[in-house]
């Protein structure tokens, strides 16, 4: 066991987060996301029984967001015609503000099928049991400066 490591982060997930380099991206997906088919060329780690909020909070304690791009955080945009509310997005922004002074200005939305295409290039996809719709979030790794 280690101290100060969020317990929701498994040894396997910690290892992969460490392996990621600057500009690599990860997706934390909701329960409806096709993680295995989109992630054919990525590492897919299942976090069944966990929601995105707890995983996002744990990861951002360790994971720097890229400072060389305008939007290192991207959300899957709601499709026109879908009458879906996304209150979870506000919770994401609250978590991001805890760990990055730039806050919600880091966040952008990507059209659903563009999000899928970008996710195919991700280094890591974390599949959760999140039930909220349009809850998928993509993070781009930055540099640790100290």
CA-to-CA distance for 129 and 33, rounded, in angstroms?
10
Residue whose token pair is 């897919």? 44
Q: Calculate the alpha carbon distances from 29 to 48, 128, 139, 145 in Å.
A: 11, 6, 11, 28
Q: Exposed (0-12), middle (13-18) or buried (19+): which is 62, by Cβ within 10 Å? A: middle
Task: Choose, from 24, 50, 99, 116, the residue flagged as catalytic.
Answer: 116
Q: Is 66 noted as a catalytic residue in this protein?
A: yes
Task: Choose, from 30, 66, 92, 134, the residue flagged as catalytic.
Answer: 66
Q: Is 22 noted as a catalytic residue in this protein?
A: yes
Task: Choose, from 22, 68, 82, 94, the residue flagged as catalytic.
Answer: 22
Q: Which residues are catalytic?
A: 22, 66, 116
């Amino acid at each position: 066991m280690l101290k100060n490591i969020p317990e929701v982060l498994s040894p396997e997930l910690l290892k992969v987060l460490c392996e990621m380099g600057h500009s690599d991206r990860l997706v934390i997906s909701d329960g409806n996301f096709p993680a295995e088919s989109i992630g054919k060329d990525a590492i897919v780690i299942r976090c069944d029984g966990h929601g995105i909020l707890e995983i996002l909070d744990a990861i951002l304690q360790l994971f720097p967001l890229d400072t060389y791009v305008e939007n290192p955080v991207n959300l899957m945009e709601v499709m026109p015609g879908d009458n879906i509310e996304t209150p979870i997005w506000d919770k994401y922004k609250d978590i991001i503000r805890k760990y990055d002074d730039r806050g919600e200005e880091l966040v952008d939305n990507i059209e659903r099928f563009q999000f899928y295409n970008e996710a195919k290039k991700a280094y890591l996809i974390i599949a959760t049991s999140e039930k909220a719709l349009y809850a998928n979030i993509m993070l781009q790794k930055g540099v640790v400066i100290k």
